[in-house]
Structure 1
Amino acid sequence: MFFTLMAVTFGISAFVAWLSVTLFKRPLAEIFERIIKDPISVAWQKYVVFATYVVGVSGGVRIYQLERYITAPHHDAEIITLSAERWVLELYRTVIETLQSIAWMYLIVFIFALVAYVIVKGFEFKYRSYEAPKPTPEKKD
């Protein structure tokens, strides 16, 4: 029963991570293309996708929490049995923990992206101010 729970939580967390990657793929691509403006932006996108899967699965499959079903916390305690209620609780916890882990990771990525965007905009503004002003054509009455 424990191995089934572990496999199911892994599958659910991988699915939730895939769903998150699918939802955020286009915004990530646009952000990285805008900030980096180089073909290496694709590599950064791939890295963030990989990190999303790693963070999502590691957050959703909580090994230390699952150990409660195979070992007792101390000598006098009993091992917790996997009932239907526990299954529902563990599956719900898997979804929530996966989403929470991915949300924190994306928050950090987007904070750094926002800082990078502000820096890029600052350099663009500075570059435009150094350009010579173009003469405007005179209007004839």
Structure 2
Amino acid sequence: MILRTAVLFVMLAGSAVAQACREDTVHLRGDWGEARFSVEIADDRSERARGLMHRESMPAAAGMLFIYPQPQSLSFWMRNTLIPLDMLFIDPGGVVQHIHHRAVPLDETPIPGGNGLTHVLEINGGMAEALGITVSSQVRHPSFDPSVAAWSC
């Protein structure tokens, strides 16, 4: 029941707000519908290394967006991360290329996302499946170059 309520909140938040691009907001869309997440940005080495470590909880409609300056092969792990996470690996055009569902807290096993990636969106574990977010979903955020973005600001 709690996850169902959280999913409804995330989906309503996606449709109820103006679709303006903001640094602290990520929009997603696909055949499944639309959603919006309030995000913290990790765009330098220190912020990316810290990520969501040591947090005991995260609001349902929240997440962290990791931004890399150049397309590259990305792999994450869950060292010192206390909550299960879904990891959405995203290409320079803002298209989800891979989803790792329910990463296990504290697990140091590498989680490869693929090649040619510039962004990773971490959200609460189980949220991607509950919303129906799939590979090929589009992501909108001001950090995507509008000349290549599938869904630009």
- Greater relative CO (CA pairs within 8 A, separation 6+): 1
Higher share in helix: 1
The TM-score range, normalised by the shorter chain, is under 0.3
Q: Which has the larger radius of gyration?
A: 1
Point out the structure with the larger strand share: 2
